[in-house]
Amino acid sequence: MINKFVPDLQTAIADVHDGAVVMLGGFGSVGMPNQLIEAVADKGVRDLTLIANNAGAAFGGMAVLLQKGAVEKVVCSYPRSANSTLFVDLYREGKIKLELVPQGTLAERIRAAAAGVPAFFTPTAAGTQLGAGKETREINGKLCVLEQALFADFALLESWEADRFGNLTYRLAGRNFNPIMAGAAKTTIVQTQHIAGPEGIAADDVMTPGIFVNRVVHIPYGDPVL
């Protein structure tokens, strides 16, 4: 019988290794796999490359990894935060690398990886510093830049509900980057607020099909805190 649930966080992240490229779901503090990230930090791995929308929050798993010096590079769109200078301080001191990506391009590069599209042209960032050095082409009268798919070794996600097949749902703004990161990584690991009943999630309600998901751990931590 298929059962993608694992008993605890340590089992879920057991193979996350030094130098791994790790995607983190979430936007702001909503839909963020905080407990999975904290488990990775506790494991003591180093030289991680993290792919996430935000990197600036004062608390939550990403901050724990940054504080531990476990991160070599961050790929994100918005590493600033009103309530923390943690990332910015590391960046200024030259202790961390940053690849800044426009948010929509970040999302599309992740989706492209999951969908087997190796690269795509987009008008976003054409003619700007963030498009500099990339192949450009005028398509239908618009200047476009070539962007590469963004792959990872692991994706750490948070769902609202999961069933034993790894089918997932999300709640309100908790969806964000989670569904697109599922499938862009070799191994997708999910922490879920709720476990679906014995009949599983109804087919029409599934937001992420279980084929994209490798492991699920039940972490009913409750509401996110801004």
Partner 1 sequence: MPDTLTPIKTLTREQMAARLAQDIPEGWYVNLGIGAPTLVANYVAADREVIFHSENGLLGVGPAPAPDKVEPWLINAGKQYVTLVQGASTFDSAESFGIIRGGHLDLAVLGGYEVAENGDLANWSTGANDAGPAVGGAMDLGAGAKQVWVLMDHTTKSGQPKLVERCSYPLTALGSVTRIYTNLAVIDVTPDGFVLRDAAPGLTFDDIQARTGATLRRA
Tell me which residues touch partner 1 (CB under 8 A): 27-30, 53, 56, 77-80, 87-88, 91-92, 98, 100-108, 110-111, 122-130, 143, 171-180, 223-226
Nearer to partner 1 (CB atom), residue 38 or residue 108: 108
In the complex with partner 1, the residue whose CB is nearer, 4 or 111, is 111
Question: Is the Cα dihedral 91, 20, 160, 182 positive or negative?
Answer: positive
CB of residue 120 to partner 1, shortest distance in Å: 11
Shortest CB 68 distance to partner 1, Å: 20
The residue among 43 and 171 lying less far from partner 1, judged by its C-beta, is 171
Sorted by sequence, the CB contacts under 8 Å of residue 37 that are 6+ apart come out as 24, 60, 61, 62, 64, 65, 156
Residues in the chain: 226
d(CA 64, CA 41) in angstroms, rounded, equals: 7
Q: Which amino acid is at 155?
A: A
Q: What 8-state DSSP symbol labels residue 1?
A: -
Nearer of residues 16 and 212 to partner 1, judged by Cβ: 212
Nearest by Cα to 84 from 139, 29, 2, 7: 29
Residue 218 CB, nearest approach to partner 1 (Å):
18
Largest Cα separation within the chain, whole Å, is 54
- Shortest Cβ 223–partner 1 spacing (Å): 4
Please report how close the Cβ of residue 59 comes to partner 1 at its closest, in angstroms. 13
User: What is the nearest approach in angstroms of partner 1 to the Cβ of residue 124?
Assistant: 5
CB 77 within 8 A of CB 102: yes
8 A C-beta contact, residue 170 and residue 25: no
Amino acid residing at 72: E
